[in-house]
Amino acid sequence: MTTIITAHEPQEFLAIVPELAGFRPVQSMVLVAFRGSRSCGALRVDLPPAGPVDADTVNAMASSLIGMLCKIPEVDAVVPVAYTAARFGAGSIPPHGELMNALIFHAGQSGFRVRDALCVAADGWASYFDTAVPRGGRALELIADARPPGAGRPAALDDQHGPALDESSADLATRQRIGRLLARFREMASDPAALGVPSAELDVLLGVPAIVESSLAGQPGELSDLHAAALLFTMQSPPSRDVLLLQFAFGAGAGLAAERENERFAAGEPGAGEQSARLLWGEGPRPDPERVEAAIALLLELVARSPRSRKPPPLTLLAWLNWALGRSSRAGVLLGMALGIDPGYGLAGLLDAMLRAGHVPEWAFAVPVERPAPRRIRRSAGRTAPRADRRAAR
């Protein structure tokens, strides 16, 4: 069922931007995109570092952001919002005005209507279109108190860098048990004779695809240590790790197809592995967000239970899954953790280079047009906004 939320005032809109974005933005520029009166997505990039920024850098950043907006089908309007640790201080001019002006210019050049342009600073907030901003900006409490009708209770959201890994969910004894099971799996893998002897460990290794599906359908805390160790052991090998990742994201069929591609690649078949590589690069159908969220919860549990030296693979899979949902900042933090443990971990280094180059999956822009988006925002532009915007908002 589509939830309709009407926001009449800027502070009401700002109160629900974290819900629209899926996280609490910090030191970010967020572009909330619209089709008509309905929001259909939010794009986020880091704000430039504090201090003077040259005009070419600002212009390039604005052009790139609006270019990403152009990829979302049928978008016709936008509200950019700057979230910054900078302050109004004794002044009334919102920080980051140069970047906001460049965004407004490029949006207009690309045919987008800018419904409003807002700033949430450390000590206040304001619209860049408002000619009567008080010194120090408007009170942040106005945002905290402004929940528009239909919004219900505020959602518990992380910022784009969270959630923090909860090591307390697995005590030292648990990690030691997992470590012993991992050692047992390594012994079995190095001894072909052991792989021919029936055992609980062998049954678990042969049943990893089924364990993935049952684990995604259940609660992460219900996962047994034996199953957790089998998943962690499987992802220590790059070929089987990639199979697991594609199963996490796209389903058991995608995992099976990737496993068969690995076999053809090992046999020297030309072109084997290309389909899996395209999916890992972000080209293909959009993964089911609910499935990906379940996989993220499972991997957080696996990271907590894993010995430190075995954490880079699950941390890297966590990073990719967050990147697949458009959470590049969160992915970058997770990759930093993985590379901090093993600076030479190949997949983490590759993904880190992708993120630093600004690469995002193509499906990030494939916002469905045929069904209503989850939020509709109607803004009254206010008496200080441009006349054309005020007419359009009614």
What does the pLDDT read at residue 360? 80
Report which secondary-structure segment, H or E, holds 43.
strand 38-46
Question: Reduced to 3 states, what is the DSSP secondary structure of residue 106?
Answer: helix
- Answer yes or no: are the C-beta atoms of 44 and 28 closer than 8 Å: yes
State which amino acid sits at residue 273: G
DSSP state of 37: T
- Taking the CA atoms of residue 324, residue 325, residue 326 and residue 331 in that order, the dihedral angle to the nearest 10 degrees is -70
* Stated pTM of the model: 0.69
Residue 386 CA to chain centroid, in angstroms? 34
Alpha helix (H) residue ranges in 267-311: 274-281, 289-305
267: exposed, middle or buried (C-beta count within 10 Å: 0-12, 13-18, 19+)? exposed
Residue 170: per-residue pLDDT = 67
Give average pLDDT by consecutive 10-residue segment, the chain, 394 residues. Answer: 58 88 84 87 81 85 90 90 92 91 95 95 94 93 77 51 57 90 88 70 88 92 92 94 95 93 89 89 89 94 94 96 85 93 95 85 67 44 38 32
- Cβ proximity of 316 and 33 under 8 Å: no
Q: For position 52, what pLDDT does the model report?
A: 75
**From CA 45, how far away is CA 25, in angstroms rounded?**
10
Token pair, residue 68, equals: 């990403």
Closest CA to 310 of 182, 186, 191, 192: 182
Burial degree of 72 (CB within 10 A; 0-12, 13-18, 19+): buried
Beta strands at 28-35 and 77-83: parallel, antiparallel or unpaired: antiparallel
Closest to 314 measured CA to CA, from 322, 148, 140: 322
pLDDT at residue number 165 = 60
Euclidean distance between CA atoms 235 and 64, whole angstroms: 36
**Residue 159 CB: number of other CB atoms within 10 A?**
16
Strands 375-376 and 125-127: unpaired
